Amino acid sequence: MNSRDRDPDGRPRQARPRDALGRPLPYGSPGGVDPIDEEPLEAGQALAEAQRLLDGGRAFSAHEVLEAAWKAAPEPERELWQGLAQICVGITHAQRGNAAGSARLLARGMGRLTPYADLPPHGVDVRGLITWYEEHGDAPAAAPPRLTLS
């Protein structure tokens, strides 16, 4: 018997409640955060929602929003969205006290974003994210990055 939550087509789903840092809670636990819809949002909406979640200390949830966008993105943008999602996972690791995991994921995410620095799609502030990483890379949970220019 498979114990993972699955939709009618057999794709994994996250029905288990989670805390604000994305850690699974026992089924039926009160106090979990609202789950993130697994359907991808339009680019601007995804960035705005991810920023709202980052600002609220919910980097794991921001990662879920960006991951949905990454998986639905056209090929030329996939690395950008994956990099943004990895930055949020890096922040999540920092929030959970895992400095080594945070450093690895932040570096990977920044490596994916850097090629977009000269012509970033959707108003993503790649240069600002690079600056944020240089200034806050060792303590990324202290000051969430700004994802867009606006």
Average pLDDT for runs of 10 along the chain of length 150: 60 70 78 79 96 95 96 96 97 95 96 96 96 94 89
DSSP letter string, the chain: ---S-B-TTS-B---S-B-TTS-B--TT-TTPPPPPPSSPPPHHHHHHHHHHHHHTT-HHHHHHHHHHHHHHS-GGGHHHHHHHHHHHHHHHHHHTT-HHHHHHHHHHHHHHHGGGSSS-GGGB-HHHHHHHHHHHTTSTTSSPPP-B--
Q: Which CATH architecture has domain 43-136?
A: Orthogonal Bundle (1.10)
Residues 6+ apart with CB under 8 A from 95: 21, 57, 59, 60, 141
Domain ranges of the chain: 43-136
pLDDT of residue 38: 80
pLDDT of residue 55: 96
pLDDT of residue 1: 42
